[in-house]
Amino acid sequence: MSTLDMHVAIVGQGYVGLPLAIAASNAGYKVYGIDSDASRIDAISSGKSPIEDISDEEIAKALASGFSVSDSMATVSKCSLVIFCLPTPLGADSKPDLDILNAAVSQAGEHLSAGTLVIVESTIAPGSMREQIQPRLVSSAGDTDFELAFSPERIDPQNPKWNISNTPKLVAGFSDKAGARAAEFYSKFVSDVRLFKSVEVVETAKLLENAFRLVNISFINEVSIFCAKLGINVLEVIEAASSKPYGFMPFYPSAGVGGHCIPVDPVYLSHKAAEIGSPLRSIELAHEVNESMPHYYVGRAVEMLGNLAGKKILVVGLAYKANVSDMREGASEKLIDLIRKAGATVSWHDELVGEWHGESTVALTGAFDLAILVTLHDGIDLKSLGQTLVLNTFGGRK
């Protein structure tokens, strides 16, 4: 293997790209991180990790081994492997938005060397690699020959069991050579790499994984509302059903699922389904239920307080899941907005987020009319709420 073959550019240094960069660096690759966020570049370059899954010590080790990060897409010219780990959110119209990925692909294409392998890890709709990414690279790279593969990220921040090294990695190339090269790269630090012939199969598999979760979480949220009306504990119902050793998987209620995957990926799938005339109505309904949950809990708050006007309400947890600071697509922001529109004064507690929209986290005290529990990070002591009324969005006060 030539020296150039060991040089890797990873575009995007967030929750997906940075762990990948560290894993590749530990496997002996010379890794160039590329990111447009100046504060993130400064933090990483100074040995400070901007995400919870990677420690400062891991950053320092990688930097000592030659890892570097910058905003220069020209770095791509030094590498035989370029990987895109960029967000693909929903736009203001709630439709798939590939603007960030497409722009980066076009910029990188101008710097590709002959024989470069390009891998996309960003979540996209089935057909996007063939219909958008490949033509865009061909256009920007000109006559430069390159290989192309798709390998969707499977990152679950702060998961104590599954990480980049032991979560099975799906890979598919536009050619046998591209697929084999991508599989060889990931095999250096991932224990289980699954190589498929069809890029479209792997694109769809990624969306199916998270559509499965959205549908089931939305379903259990409806069951939770049903149980509340019936006056029984939904967590006990789930516990009882979970005793069945086959055919059942527990999911748990919430104020609305958040994060960069579950609320977004299924929409990519349903949008493609509508485009080809094969609608996925279960996903459409699940998305509708998920979006309605903050409204439901505002209604619950009204039931408990009678009227929200002039009331002091505390929302506990802004992040979309425990022990991370990531707020993307989280239910708390929607919930806070609705409660404020109802006339209440809203404060929030989340020490991992710290600052948000010019506001700061507040202490847990008994000075509120109601506390709404959305996300509980480790170490939160709810006893500090004293006699404050508590509305728990996930099934019972801890």
The CA-CA-CA angle for residues 55, 61, 67, to 5°, reads 105
Contact predicate 331/256, CB 8 Å: yes
Close Cβ partners of 333 (under 8 Å, ≥ 6 residues apart):
318, 327
Q: Which residue has the tokens 């224990």?
A: 191
The three-state secondary structure class of 23 is helix
Compute CA 256 distance to the chain's CA centroid, rounded to the nearest angstrom.
Answer: 14
Q: What is the reported pLDDT for 352?
A: 94
* Mean local confidence (pLDDT), 28-45: 97
The string of pLDDT tens digits covering residues 58-75 is 999 999 999 999 999 999
* Mean local confidence (pLDDT), 154-159: 91
- Which structure tokens are listed for 46? 């100074």
Contact predicate 338/298, CB 8 Å: yes
291/343 Cα distance (integer angstroms) = 21
**Quick one: which of 124, 121, 135 has its CA closest to 90?**
124
Give the H/E segment covering residue 390.
strand 389-392
User: Domains in the chain, start-ordered, CATH in brackets?
Assistant: 4-197 (3.40.50.720), 207-392 (3.40.50.720)
pLDDT at residue 398 is higher than 60: no
pLDDT at residue 2 is higher than 70: no
Q: What is the reported pLDDT for 3?
A: 52
Average pLDDT in the chain: 94
Q: What is the reported pLDDT for 4?
A: 57
- Which structure tokens are listed for 68? 């570097």
pTM for this prediction:
0.92
Contact predicate 207/265, CB 8 Å: yes
pLDDT at residue 396 is higher than 50: no
Close Cβ partners of 228 (under 8 Å, ≥ 6 residues apart):
234, 300
Compute CA 297 distance to the chain's CA centroid, rounded to the nearest angstrom.
Answer: 24
pLDDT at residue 1 is higher than 60: no
Partners of residue 313 on adjacent β-strands: 346, 370
- For residue 151, the tally of other CB atoms under 10 A from its CB is 27
The string of pLDDT tens digits covering residues 73-129 is 999 999 999 999 999 998 888 889 999 999 999 999 999 999 999 999 999 999 999
Q: What are the catalytic residues? A: 261
Task: Kindly report the three-state secondary structure assignment for every residue of 297-340.
Answer: HHHHHHHHHCCCCCCEEEEECCCCCCCCCCCCCCHHHHHHHHHH
Close Cβ partners of 314 (under 8 Å, ≥ 6 residues apart):
346, 347, 348, 349, 362, 364, 368, 370, 371, 372, 385, 388
Contact predicate 272/88, CB 8 Å: no
Phi/psi of residue 207, nearest 5 degrees: -70, -35
Instruction: Give the chain's largest Cα–Cα span.
Output: 71
Give the H/E segment covering residue 275.
helix 265-275
Q: What is the reported pLDDT for 51?
A: 93
Q: What is the reported pLDDT for 5?
A: 73
Confidence class for position 143, pLDDT limits 50, 70, 90: confident
The string of pLDDT tens digits covering residues 242-273 is 999 999 999 999 999 888 788 899 999 999 99
Q: Please report, as a single letter, which amino acid is at residue 137.
A: L
Q: What is the reported pLDDT for 17?
A: 97
- Which structure tokens are listed for 61? 């080790």
